[in-house]
Amino acid sequence: MPQDMPYPPCAPVFFEQTRFREDLEAALASGAATLSIFKSAIKAADAHLENRFREGEEVRNLVYDRALFTDCILHYAWHQFRWSSGIALIAVGGYGRGELHPHSDVDLLILLDDALRASCPDETAGNIESFVTMLWDLGLDIGHSVRGISETITLAQDDITVATNLMESRTVTGDPALHEALQKLVAPDNIWPAEAFFIAKRDEQIERHAEFRDTEYNLEPNIKKAPGGLRDIQTIAWVTKRYFGVNTLKSLQGKGFFTEDEFAILQSGEEFLWRVRYGLHLVSGRADERLLFDYQRELAKMFGYEDNKRLAVEQFMHDYYRVVLALRELNDVLLQYLNEVILQRGRSQRVEPLNERFQLRDGFLEATQIFVFRENPSALLEVFLLLANHPEIKGVRASTIRLLRENRHLIDERYRANPENAQLFMELLRSPHALATQLTRMSRYGILGRYLPEFGKVTGQMQHDLFHIYTVDAHTLQVVRNMRRFRHSDAEKKFPVAAEIMQRLPKPELLYISGLYHDIAKGRGGDHSTLGAVDAADFCKRHGLSARDTRLVCWLVEKHLLMSQVAQKSDISDPDVIHEFAREVGDRQHLDYLYALTVADINATNPDLWNSWRASLMRQLFQTTRNALKRGLENPIDRLEIIAETRLQALQLLGDQVPEEEVTRIWAQMGEDYFVRETAGSIAWHTAAIAQAENPSGAPLVLTRNTGTGKHDGATEIFIYTLDRANVFAAAASAIDQLHLSIHDAHLYSSASGYTLDTFYVLQEDGRPLPEDPELGTRISQMMQGELSLLGDCGRAVERRTSRRLKMFPLKTHAIVDTEPGANFSTLEVTSADRPGLLARIARCFMRHEISLLNAKIATLGERIEDIFHIVDAEGNPLRDPESCRSLEEDICKSLDAQIE
């Protein structure tokens, strides 16, 4: 070690610096390597800090101590080499602020004066390379750059991120004059003045929030970058430091930038997120900022949460969402304040009165005086009604947002019972502009959860599954947003039926109320639909709705799952199913409202659920039910009438393609169900293909096409015509899965001539039908024929990777066989988590138990399946032996659950 080795300016108490230096000196004196000494010190520090964290020490101490310890390690590593003057090691970014989490990057700038940078002697260049290599060998996660001062300034002028990192830089070791010179050159007077810096950071945040769908409520949130995360706190700090010329936010206490309560929210929120981040780094073993399901349970346990009425992980995440919601709210206030003081500084302001309580100042809404809400509490709702009725208003001034937050406690039982306030809220629901935006604002500012206490109870409440991707409150507001979008012209293409319905709904506000209340009772135990209907009735009574409107809203809340369940789990080609659903709905108005609510709900639950196939099912159910209502519930359609009409239409579509006597021969082999369930177009397609398939060898006929308009549009059909043998379904399911396609419906028929006609409706993994490609059709046909030629060995296990998220939610499989009295088949219901090869595995179970499949209804709900199979035994009889049924059920459960385990 060089004799002039200086001590670092400061070292943490736990770092045994004297012993460390002695070990270094001994190693250098003997010519031994020093790397192991550094590594031992780092390992000991990591263990020490982790132990303190697990014992509950305040996380700020740990973050600062880790950075301070890293300073020491870098200091001694730097001084393993001889440096000329004109070079320094600079900490930048988060490390520059003196903050370091277990696996955060150690961001470094090796700064040279311009003369040294220009010449850069070999010794200096070699030392830099060796120094950086040493840091990597030590296992430090470094991010580094080597630049001269002028070069650094040029980059900072062009890149706001570089400029921001330099704002929070400091000298670790080396020539301190270089950093002093750099700081002068990056000051607002030289580059990125306060206005330009603020605009860049504001736009950066808007873009960043958009990446997370502008919600703080993603179920696997990024604790650093998502709305309400650490980056939002840092954005406020950066802009504030740039404008006010301070080094810390704390130095602004008592100077009017934020209130004491706001500073406390910032401090406690940052403390909470730092603790989560610190723990996340420990359990993940890397610099992972995503709070994945894998880690949520571990962290909940680490932080002392326990399962009771609610899971520990749900309690932990509820606290997390509450914190980020408060930080998001505060971020809104402080950024708006900065917008006013920075962008409007020194400019004449235009004030336009709206009424005696509110005015516009440069386009932003503000209260006319600070006692507005105290003197007239109804103004707490009036704010949002004004925003909805005046789309030209840019937003709310920071001072008025603060007044809203300070006075929201005025919303109590008496406030909610006041007819004037009820009228204001109903006027908001009937407003023509940006209703969802105003409800979101109300939620963010804590007004909506106080005015609707039942909504306040589900604020931040997560649903720990793979079906729902948002918390209950975020999902609810997204439902209303979707409803409003149905009114826009661009919705006509993606949601044509919903868009048409929204144009004719007599009272759209009833739809919005049902949207607000459809999930309001989640998490209480019991049927949330029934409990929610009770809350909805109370709302309607308090807001003066008529008895008829109240009945409609309550019915929608109670039945909000009905339409999706019927569309996805029932045979909606069956006229009896449609008649029963029409009886449940009752009239066209109820059908319209229910359809709009259902589509909005599905798309707000998980956007991936809405694909062309699900849209076609919903559209078919809507149209056939509408026709049934038009015809009259007392006049149910007759099956024979459907059959006759379908046969006539199919015959007309066939034209001269197939001789009529051949058509008659083919159709004579088919049962009634075929002509009830299939469209005339499909029947014509099948018939023409069968008639033209002169195939003495009996090789399977396999055809594909994308469905057009009609009952089953929105998917790709795979049609199979082959000899009716055991395990055809197993072979087809195996082939389809090997093609990475998902089956969404299956129609299976046996003809009297000994053939089976099977149609599978499939989608790609992205939820879209297959592209029109003859070569792809040929590949599918070849794959299917290959599997069908090996029926004895079909349905091989498809061992594609099971998703990480699915393993975290190992939904236990439930399989139930039921045989109704007098039925000629048994019904098997399987509920499980979706995964590659699922149907092929079920098909192999059928093979083992000698089960024949008559029909299948495939319902995939996100990453959950609810499939129904109509089955018979080897003799074609229903399964009536309890032991045989139990054996099949157990085999299916064991087979599917073993794949996840």
Residues 656 and 805 in one domain: yes
Assign 635 to helix, strand or coil: coil
Residue 289 belongs to domain with CATH number? 1.20.120.330
Residues 371 and 335 in one domain: no
178 neighbors 113 (Cβ within 8 angstroms): yes
Assign 426 to helix, strand or coil: helix
Residues 6+ apart with CB under 8 A from 880: 819, 826
Residues 600 and 494 in one domain: yes
Task: Kindly state whether residue 1 falls inside one of the protein's structural domains.
Answer: no
Residues 6+ apart with CB under 8 A from 347: none
Short-list 564, 552, 554, CA closest to 530: 554
Q: What is the separation of C-alpha 899 from the centre of its chain, rounded to a whole number of angstroms?
A: 25
Residues 228 and 156 in one domain: no
Residues 331 and 379 in one domain: no
Side-chain half-sphere CA neighbours of 493 within 13 A:
2
Number of Cβ within 10 Å of residue 46's Cβ equals 15
Buried b (16+ CB within 10 A) or exposed e, 530-547: ebbbbbbbebbeebebee
Task: Kindly state whether residue 2 falls inside one of the protein's structural domains.
Answer: no
In whole angstroms, what is the distance from residue 616 CA to residue 623 CA? 10
| Sign of the Cα pseudo-torsion (682, 683, 686, 689, in order) | negative
Number of Cβ within 10 Å of residue 832's Cβ equals 24
Residue 116 belongs to domain with CATH number? 3.30.460.10
Tokens 């096409």: give the residue. 705
Please provide the size of the chain in residues. 901
In whole angstroms, what is the distance from residue 780 CA to residue 778 CA? 5
Tell me the one-letter amino acid at 303. F
Task: Kindly state whether residue 148 falls inside one of the protein's structural domains.
Answer: yes
Q: Which of 343, 367, 401 is the last residue of a domain?
A: 343
Helices (runs of H) and strands (runs of E) counted in the chain: 41, 17
In whole angstroms, what is the distance from residue 834 CA to residue 59 CA? 40
Q: Which of 437, 466, 497 is the last residue of a domain?
A: 437
Task: Kindly state whether residue 93 falls inside one of the protein's structural domains.
Answer: yes
Task: Kindly state whether residue 12 falls inside one of the protein's structural domains.
Answer: no
Task: Kindly state whether residue 442 falls inside one of the protein's structural domains.
Answer: no
Q: What is the separation of C-alpha 783 from the centre of its chain, rounded to a whole number of angstroms?
A: 35
In whole angstroms, what is the distance from residue 247 CA to residue 161 CA? 18
Residues 6+ apart with CB under 8 A from 408: 380, 445, 446, 447, 450
Residues 624 and 653 in one domain: no
Longest Cα–Cα distance in the chain = 108
Tokens 């093609």: give the residue. 739
> What are the average pLDDT values for consecutive 10-residue runs of the chain, which has 901 residues?
74 94 90 92 97 96 98 96 95 96 97 94 94 96 95 96 95 96 95 95 95 83 95 95 88 84 94 98 94 92 92 92 94 92 81 96 95 98 97 94 96 97 98 94 95 94 71 94 93 93 96 98 90 98 98 98 91 90 96 98 84 89 95 86 93 92 92 89 92 68 74 77 84 87 85 87 85 83 84 50 58 91 91 83 91 82 81 91 95 85 57
Task: Kindly state whether residue 7 falls inside one of the protein's structural domains.
Answer: no
Residues 52 and 22 in one domain: yes
Cα–Cα distances in Å, from 718 out to 620, 721, 769, 850? 20, 10, 11, 25
- E strand or H helix at 87, and its extent? strand 87-91
Tell me the one-letter amino acid at 508. P
**pLDDT of 791:** 64
Tokens 């082959």: give the residue. 722
Structure tokens at 245: 């010329």
Short-list 760, 701, 756, CA closest to 734: 760
Residues 6+ apart with CB under 8 A from 390: 354
**pLDDT of 450:** 97
Structure tokens at 577: 């199913």
In whole angstroms, what is the distance from residue 808 CA to residue 179 CA? 48
**pLDDT of 17:** 93
Number of Cβ within 10 Å of residue 705's Cβ equals 16
Tell me the one-letter amino acid at 528. H
Domain count, the chain: 5
98 neighbors 68 (Cβ within 8 angstroms): yes
Residues 161 and 204 in one domain: no
Task: Kindly state whether residue 3 falls inside one of the protein's structural domains.
Answer: no
**pLDDT of 36:** 95
In whole angstroms, what is the distance from residue 678 CA to residue 645 CA? 12
In whole angstroms, what is the distance from residue 810 CA to residue 641 CA? 47
Residues 800 and 682 in one domain: yes
Residues 329 and 383 in one domain: no
Dihedral through CA 799, CA 803, CA 806, CA 807, nearest 10? 70
Residues 168 and 210 in one domain: no
Q: What sections of 767-816 are H helices per DSSP?
A: 774-788, 804-808
Residue 390 belongs to domain with CATH number? 1.10.110
| Sign of the Cα pseudo-torsion (422, 425, 427, 430, in order) | negative
> How do residues 416-443 score in pLDDT, each as one tens digit?
999 999 999 999 999 988 999 999 999 9
The CA angle 336-161-174, to the nearest 5 degrees, is 125
Tokens 């398939």: give the residue. 693
In whole angstroms, what is the distance from residue 795 CA to residue 845 CA? 10
Short-list 346, 349, 435, 421, CA closest to 391: 435
232 neighbors 205 (Cβ within 8 angstroms): yes
**pLDDT of 73:** 97
> How do residues 195-234 score in pLDDT, each as one tens digit?
999 999 999 999 999 998 888 878 889 999 999 999 999 9
Residues 358 and 321 in one domain: no
Bridge partners of 146?
A: 110
Q: What is the separation of C-alpha 205 from the centre of its chain, rounded to a whole number of angstroms?
A: 19
Q: Which of 158, 185, 212 is the last residue of a domain?
A: 185
List the domain range (segments joined by +) for residue 69.
17-185
Short-list 474, 440, 444, 473, CA closest to 457: 473
